[in-house]
Structure 1
Amino acid sequence: MPSRRSLLGRLSAAVGVAAAGCAGLRPPPGLDLPANPHDVPRRQFAQRAHLREDADGNPLGTRFRRVLLLDLQREPSAEAGRTVERALRTLEDAYDWSPDGLFHLLAWGTNYLDDHGVLNRVPTDHPTVLSRVDTPELLRFDAALVLESDVPSHLTAAESALFGDRAELNGVAVDHRLLDTFARRERRTGFIGEGLPAAHADAEGVPADAIPEDAPMFTGFQSGREKTQASEDRVTIDDGPLEGGTTMHLSHLTLNLKRWYAFSEASRVKRMFDPETTPDDEAGFTDDVPFADRVEEHASEHGMVGHHEKVARVRRDGEPLLLRRDFNTVDGGHPGVHFLAFQRAGKDFRRTRKSMNGWYLRDDSPDITDSENNGILDVIRVRSRANFVVPPREKRAFPLTVT
């Protein structure tokens, strides 16, 4: 019987498929797939050029999200690679690459990378504990399929086509399924956008009538202003075997909304931004949030600091390191956030989280602890963490194989 490594070596010669419809990308040898009727980008995570914008030019992310966390059920092989690629091509045949259609990506987890001896070739590692107040479950998966759309039925239909018995997807015959290669271990679901948090206010732990009707997030604030996010270029790996890809972090956070909304509006604004920001200031923010880098001074003078002013300190050439695609959830019946972020290297996420921890402020005020008066850390808890790589589209089926 061929060894696992010899199968992987064979796979590297036969798989590594590029998406048709993009200049310079070719279909893989031996796959003989027709041209894709919809253009899809080489970067699996690329969305910015396809998103709607608000009046201030901020991107409006897709309203509904689903993440399927997967375990491999068969040995890697050229045949398995063809099955995976053809299954994903079904999604691309069926839907436009747009919010009204379907965005999707296949990421590969540290379990797969470690099992196949290639974890040392990628700019991430197994997840670790990153704060002193959390004891998260540190998860390792083989892969994750991320699905996004403004049309929630598209997510259900796509999952049913890839992991169920659906025979047709938006008029396209379903001949290949990920079920033949992966088993679903977990499902993460959620939403982001005006009105959606208020529509889920019946979840346990959400105080009655607290969430503004037009709020896009459970906390009541806007997430993802253009200049508070890394660009897609910033998070793209620019050399090596994953050139054109990125890394992905996924955390599940719980929110103590009763405590959050027990604070006054003015206090919530200060905790989210900085002690000198008022609700009127926040209402005037457009595509950015002012940042004066006065965290230590604020700690000394006010005995508290804001969330944004801490994480804004971690930038490169003035630009944040993380491209966040976080979203609300009521998975488990409780309010929370699935914090999904892309970054060029896992160390970028760790640096940002350590700045958010605010440990460096302990000498500036006795009122600031690991959670109290320290941004939003007193209302969030991390339940789990997992790390992944997102290959470029032409390498999305069993990337980084070894001979």
Structure 2
Amino acid sequence: MESRYPFSPAGVFVFVAYGVPYFNRLPGGLRGALVRGYIPRLRSSRNRLALEEAVPGPTDLAPSNPAISKATYNVPLVIEANDLLLTLRSDVLGKTGDVLDWLLRGSDQLNGQPVPSPHFNGLFSITSNRVMFQQMGLPRSVADEQGLAFAARVNVRSPMWMGFADQQASGSGPPEITTFQGNRSAVLTTCGPRSYMRNGAIQHLSHVILDLEQFYAGSDEPFTERVQYMFRSNPIPALGNPDQFADGGGPAFLENVFQGSFDARANAAAIKTFQGEHRMGHLAALQRSSRAADGTPIHIRMDGPGYDPLDVPDGSAQPKLQFTAFVPTADFFARMRRNQASLDLVRKYSVADENNGLERFITATRRQNFLVPPRRHRAFPLLELAD
């Protein structure tokens, strides 16, 4: 693939990652000497591997959260059991389609040139596919085209469904910090300079239904409310337009400011918040643990909006967040997700459910963690070392 398309936005980015089920197929499985000898461990807990299976978040619908329910999409979470995750990204949709045709459908050509397609002979079966799209204003265009009730309230410039530009440079770490070896800002694993998995990372994948009819609901959700749900209340990032609803009601592009890991606590405690409310901002809550001591983010998101019927109870197409991110350990992501919900602060400071960030608007229906091996070992990692 990479001999026909450059590894770039104009070509095709190809990422291959492996789930716990893959490593369990190796001798001894995830707990065996082979896997435990080569996958880095947590520096904070040497008996734990950087790769662990995904766990339900605090507001996911799961047996561990019996009190949780959602207003619209009460879909139980499934922890998936895929061996392999293939992620393709390109600025040109036709190029990803061309790669998939060659890889999975036997087209025997790539980028217009004859290239024999691989014959997997039943090695793989596709369990699901997720299509994401990313372009300025594209969610609004989809909403208009599909006649969605809230379409006129989606910001015409935002690349995301909820109307705010995401994945800003200031909110993502440098690539090395997300790897097992980390960088001078943060090192979370035992990975050394000659480790087999050096330059590897963890990729979390989840499938999230967005309840946008509730997010953009009537007079109850003006821009001043939505911007606090997304960011914080101390201070409110922007007051928006006189018309708080049309075309998003305010700016799509706001700086992702880091105000310290205790900022979420101050917001929950109503310290200098907008209108004196006890509130939780989504980003402020994440920042309880998402950054190094020097303020550097320890993750890189690679997600985008989607629109499809997957896991929707009535089979209708609905707005989605096709979430995926690179992090150095599964434990790091699990802690970040717990802090996103911040139920400890919600209880301590009596934050109303409707003021707890984005939690009531999102339903995660699928989750799984994967290990992204370094490129030199990306074809069936550790298999060459198995007896």
Whether TM-score is above 0.5 comes out as yes
Q: Is the 8 A contact 2:157 2:252 kept in 1?
A: no
1:165 corresponds in structure 2 to 106
Q: Secondary structure at the match of 1:182?
A: coil
Higher strand share: 1
Question: Which residues of structure 1 form unaligned runs of 5+?
Answer: 1-90
Counterparts of residues 123-202 of structure 1 (less than 5 Å): 123-135=50-62, 136-177=77-118, 179-180=120-121, 181-201=123-143, 202=145
String of CA shifts for 1:256-301, please: whole Å, max 9, x gaps: 1011112101111111111131425985966642425332222222
Aligned length: 311
Structure 1 position 344 matched with structure 2 position 254: no
Structure 1 position 261 matched with structure 2 position 216: yes
Q: Secondary structure at the match of 1:250?
A: strand
2:246 corresponds in structure 1 to none
CA distance in 2, matches of 1:355, 1:178: 45
Choose the corresponding residue for 1:111, options 9, 13, 21.
Answer: 21
Counterparts of residues 279-318 of structure 1 (less than 5 Å): 279=238, 283=251, 288-292=256-260, 293-301=262-270, 302-314=277-289, 315-317=291-293, 318=295
Question: Which residues of structure 2 form unaligned runs of 5+?
Answer: 40-49, 63-76, 182-190, 241-249, 271-276, 310-316
Q: Is the 8 A contact 1:203 1:335 kept in 2?
A: no
2:205 corresponds in structure 1 to 250
Q: Secondary structure at the match of 2:2?
A: helix
In 2 relative to 1, CA 351–375 (structure 1 residues): closer, same or farther, beyond 3 Å?
Answer: same
Q: Is the 8 A contact 1:167 1:174 kept in 2?
A: yes
In 2 relative to 1, CA 182–304 (structure 1 residues): closer, same or farther, beyond 3 Å?
Answer: same
String of CA shifts for 1:346-382, please: whole Å, max 9, x gaps: 111001001111112134432434xx31111110011
CA distance in 2, matches of 1:179, 1:290: 47
Choose the corresponding residue for 1:396, options 357, 378, 385.
Answer: 378
Letter in 2 for 1:279: A
Normalised by the size of structure 2, how large is the TM-score? 0.75
1:219 corresponds in structure 2 to 162
String of CA shifts for 1:202-257, please: whole Å, max 9, x gaps: 45866232212211100000111112112211011222331111111100011010
Query: Runs of 4 or more off by more than 4 Å in structure 1?
Result: 202-206, 280-287
Letter in 2 for 1:330: Y
Q: Is the 8 A contact 1:256 1:379 kept in 2?
A: yes
CA distance in 2, matches of 1:323, 1:397: 23
Structure 1 position 277 matched with structure 2 position 236: yes
Q: Is the 8 A contact 1:126 1:386 kept in 2?
A: yes
CA distance in 1, matches of 2:120, 2:94: 20
Q: Secondary structure at the match of 1:389?
A: strand
Choose the corresponding residue for 2:171, options 228, 237, 243.
Answer: 228
Letter in 1 for 2:208: L
Q: Secondary structure at the match of 1:108?
A: strand
CA-CA distance at 1:115 after TM superposition? 2.2
Choose the corresponding residue for 2:11, options 96, 101, 106.
Answer: 101
In 2 relative to 1, CA 313–367 (structure 1 residues): closer, same or farther, beyond 3 Å?
Answer: closer
In 2 relative to 1, CA 286–375 (structure 1 residues): closer, same or farther, beyond 3 Å?
Answer: closer
In 2 relative to 1, CA 280–193 (structure 1 residues): closer, same or farther, beyond 3 Å?
Answer: farther
CA distance in 2, matches of 1:199, 1:178: 39
Q: Secondary structure at the match of 1:185?
A: coil
CA distance in 2, matches of 1:205, 1:381: 19
The farther-off stretch of 334-343 and 353-362 is: 353-362
Counterparts of residues 61-76 of structure 1 (less than 5 Å): none
Identity fraction in percent: 28
Letter in 1 for 2:305: N
Q: Is the 8 A contact 1:225 1:286 kept in 2?
A: no
Q: Secondary structure at the match of 1:93?
A: coil
Structure 1 position 381 matched with structure 2 position 350: no
1:358 corresponds in structure 2 to 342
CA distance in 2, matches of 1:326, 1:235: 16
CA distance in 1, matches of 2:154, 2:379: 42
The farther-off stretch of 300-309 and 137-146 is: 300-309
CA-CA distance at 1:194 after TM superposition? 0.3
Letter in 2 for 1:245: G
CA-CA distance at 1:340 after TM superposition? 0.3
Letter in 1 for 2:127: R
CA-CA distance at 1:383 after TM superposition? 0.5
In 2 relative to 1, CA 383–197 (structure 1 residues): closer, same or farther, beyond 3 Å?
Answer: same
